[in-house]
Chains A and B, each alone.
Chain A
Amino acid sequence: MACCAAIAAVIGLVRAAWFRLLPDRRPVEPTFAPPAHRSADGTAPLRAEPAGVPRRRGLTGSALVGVAVGTAAYALAITILRATPVVRTLDGPWVVRDAGLVALVAVTLLAGLAGGGARSVPAVLLGAGVAWTELGLLDMHLLGLFELRVAALPLDLLLHGSGPLLVVLAAQRLARPRPRLETSTP
């Protein structure tokens, strides 16, 4: 039932605008299910589907949720680090950067949740790893917003290396095939 048609209408407006920008992303509306069969005694015929490429619904949405999670985690970690003597905060466009991070979290979270479907944990980790990597490079080496005061090399490796490590691990899990054999029973 349309228990909240107003919010569904808002979602409809956002989706309409989105698909106007990216018409090829519009999903195909499902129509008929495959015809069902039952024998005279009420049982269903056995049906085996060949093992094939697993369905990967919601990968993009999961990755976007991952970007939101990674961004939030990164922002929190840097905020905590800046309160310690480990990091020296430098002058720079902090306000713009912070607003950007908030917007990035909001947009990716909304887009990721709107995608629906089951969440893929590896895809979430992939998105988080990418976000962590990119934001670290952006803050330290493009905007020059902070630098490490102590143990610069190991901490630098830890900060910039943990993101790619997460990406590699997540990609490995995503690449692992999952054969599927489905048999229907009455």
Chain B
Amino acid sequence: MTTVAVRPDETTTVLLPTDVPLFPPATRRAMLRSGAGYAVLWALGAVALAVDAGPRPTVLALGLTLPGGGLLHAGHPVLGAVALLAVLLAVFVWWAAGPTVLPPLVWLVSAALPALTLDDPTGSAGAGIAVLTAVPAAALVAVAVHAARHRSQRRRGAKLNARLAEVGFRITGAPSYPRDAAVVEHTAEDLRRLRAALDTALQPADSYDGFTHLDQFREGALRYQLNALSYGLSMSQFTRTPAFRGYLAEAQRNTIDKVLQRKVWGYWALENAWGNLRRDKDPVPLGGNVMLTGFFGLQVGMYSLLNDDRYTRPGSLDFRWDDDTSFPYDLGALAANVRASVRDSRFSLYPCEPNWIYTICNTFGLNTVLAQEQLQSSGEADDVRARLRRAYESEFLRPDGRIVGVRSSHLGLSWNFWASPSVQLATAYWLNPGMPDLAQRTWWLLRDGWLRVEDGLVSTPRSVVSRLDPGSYQLGTDTFTLAVTTMAAREIGDEETARAAERTIAERCPTEQRYGAERVAGASGLANSYLNLGRFGRRSALRDLVAFGPPREWRDGPVLDAAAYPDVLVARAVSDGAALDLVLVPGEGPVRTRLTLAQLRPGTRYDVTGARDATLTADGEGRAVVEVELGRRQEVRVSPAS
């Protein structure tokens, strides 16, 4: 935990690397290995054709050279196309859910079936040569296109660097409170949005009302909804009510408990089996599943930084499979897993689904390490950060500054369209705690063309991805993109864009209210949670929390430990280490109610304003109860008696 007198901000220039190779080292190695593997298959086809190995072996060999190649050779082009499509479909399923075995299996079956079952497998040499030529030709074209694009990106990168050299990015250092970041008060709208999140999170452990149930593999999975819900709650606590625990902390713990349920993390047993060919159900494996460990680790880390250390105790995070099998972890173990996985990976970044490395997911892994470092220093965070930084600046960066969103760890391949601005947008936010200079540069590149603010409204180019709500896979809505824009702009310090994004949402997206809670109608729970994260953020809020931790006074000073919900809505709660300042709002009309305070100095007498009693004395455990009449917004101050 770092507290200094003056925030040591730094202004710096951040240029794009000029030496990004056509194929970065780890990528090149993976591609060469894949190419060598394919060369064996190709040689089988070539030899079978050259030595006239007989109709059925030739059909089999050519089917292994190219999916559907055997059928094409034997004069069944339509069936050959079907076989090719089947393999492509298998690749898609592999990408979606990680079954590494599926593409080779389908490929093998598509080659073997015709060889075993065709009545007349005799083929023509011309078709055979065409089959042999197809993949090498496609690979050559792909390399040529990639090389041409790479040259173009280098030219664009050089032009951008000329302009970036003139830009000074302000990198925020360790904050001094309250000078650099005052604790602000929730507005009435903030409280309505917060209530929707609290109601969702405060359900019983086995209730999932308000959650989207679609699949447990992709973006709509429960785990992401729980992560995002908790991030929003934590951020509201950090910037508005750091001295309030009560139902706000309980809500965060509930989301943590839910992630530990098998229905949320049990997908990994399947993915590990069909993706890594391992029967181990442990959801915290070395070198994989960062989509759980990174996201969840940050969730637990944010809670722990703001509240208590219960999740740093050994076995406190128990992933239970059944009565006999469980996998006990704690925050330190999650962070240690991330650190070891980064060191173990050739790419430094490591996969979510088996084989698929996503740049966004790995920012969560780094944030887990950083958050844990504030609580229990391992001394290894800088090494992890340096390794990841090198990878973000080489293996996963185009010369024009676009971050490559996904790469296959087995094949080294990526997809050009996958360097989409949506990837840059989210990465800018989550990268800010650990690599603020790269986050600033990424944001600058986004504002340089893709993201425009006109007449106080945000506009983004119309594309399928930017018009997608990944929480429900709903197309045609940019609410999610605007939510992430709000998050990133506010975190980076571009408040004009953040406000424009919020105004755009307010103008474009209707809201719905029930029981005092409010949410954006038609948007998924995931989108609403990220809207909260953006709403409750501020400049460098995520960085301040994750990379520097809250000030000691907030954690150790007097806190509001319990209050009735929704009778008492806490709009502001902050401590200076000795006194506690609260702003309370009635949630269901005027009420007389009790507040439980904690972390007072045991046996000490305090002056109280805004409550029924003018003084209180803390008990031996530093706790006390005060009664308040809450008819409207009420300020309460508890300070040591003068």
**Segment with Cβ contacts to B, from A6-14, A159-167, A171-179:** A6-14
Q: Are A33 and B203 also in contact (CB < 8 A) when A12-B468, A103-B86 are?
A: yes
Please name the residue on chain A nearest to B95 by beta carbon: A7
**Segment with Cβ contacts to B, from A110-118, A129-137, A148-156:** A110-118
Q: Which of A15, A36, A117 has the most B CB atoms < 10 Å from its CB?
A: A36
The reply on B473 being an interface residue by CB < 8 A is yes
List, in ascending order, chain B residues with CB within 8 A of A113's CB.
97, 215, 217
A7 to B595, CA, bound (A): 48
**Would you call B218 and A8 a contact (CB within 8 A)?**
yes
Q: Are A29 and B522 also in contact (CB < 8 A) when A34-B199, A36-B565, A117-B213 are?
A: yes
The reply on A40 being an interface residue by CB < 8 A is yes
The reply on B92 being an interface residue by CB < 8 A is yes
**Segment with Cβ contacts to A, from B23-31, B139-147, B419-427, B438-446:** B419-427
Please name the residue on chain B nearest to A41 by beta carbon: B562
Q: Are A102 and B110 also in contact (CB < 8 A) when A32-B196, A35-B199 are?
A: yes
Q: Are A12 and B420 also in contact (CB < 8 A) when A4-B218, A35-B566, A182-B207 are?
A: no
A117 to B222, CA, bound (A): 10
The reply on B593 being an interface residue by CB < 8 A is yes
List, in ascending order, chain B residues with CB within 8 A of A42's CB.
246-247, 250, 561-563, 596
**Would you call B564 and A6 a contact (CB within 8 A)?**
no
The reply on B640 being an interface residue by CB < 8 A is no
A32 to B511, CA, bound (A): 12
**Would you call A95 and B118 a contact (CB within 8 A)?**
yes
- Residue-wise, chain B 207-219 has the 8 Å CB interface mask toward A (1 for contact) of 1011111111111
List, in ascending order, chain B residues with CB within 8 A of A117's CB.
213
Total residues of chain A contacting the partner, CB 8 A: 54
The reply on A1 being an interface residue by CB < 8 A is yes
List, in ascending order, chain B residues with CB within 8 A of A7's CB.
95-96, 218
Nearest chain B CB to A3 CB, angstrom units: 5
List, in ascending order, chain B residues with CB within 8 A of A25's CB.
none
**Segment with Cβ contacts to A, from B130-138, B166-174, B512-520:** B512-520
List, in ascending order, chain A residues with CB within 8 A of B417's CB.
6
List, in ascending order, chain A residues with CB within 8 A of B76's CB.
95
The reply on A2 being an interface residue by CB < 8 A is yes
The reply on B570 being an interface residue by CB < 8 A is no
* Across the A-B interface, the 3 shortest Cβ-Cβ residue pairs: A42-B562, A33-B210, A36-B202
B residues sitting closer than 8 Å to A (CB atoms) are 76, 79, 82-83, 86, 89-90, 92-93, 95-97, 106, 109-110, 113-114, 117-119, 196, 198-200, 202-207, 209-220, 224, 228, 246-247, 250, 263, 291, 295, 352, 356, 358, 360-361, 364, 405-406, 415, 417-418, 420, 422-423, 426, 430, 464-465, 468, 470, 472-475, 480, 484, 512, 514-517, 519, 521-522, 524-525, 530, 561-568, 593-596
A1-B295, A102-B109, A110-B93 provided; 9 other pairs, C-beta below 8 A? A1-B219, A2-B484, A13-B475, A33-B210, A35-B517, A99-B79, A99-B82, A114-B215, A183-B204
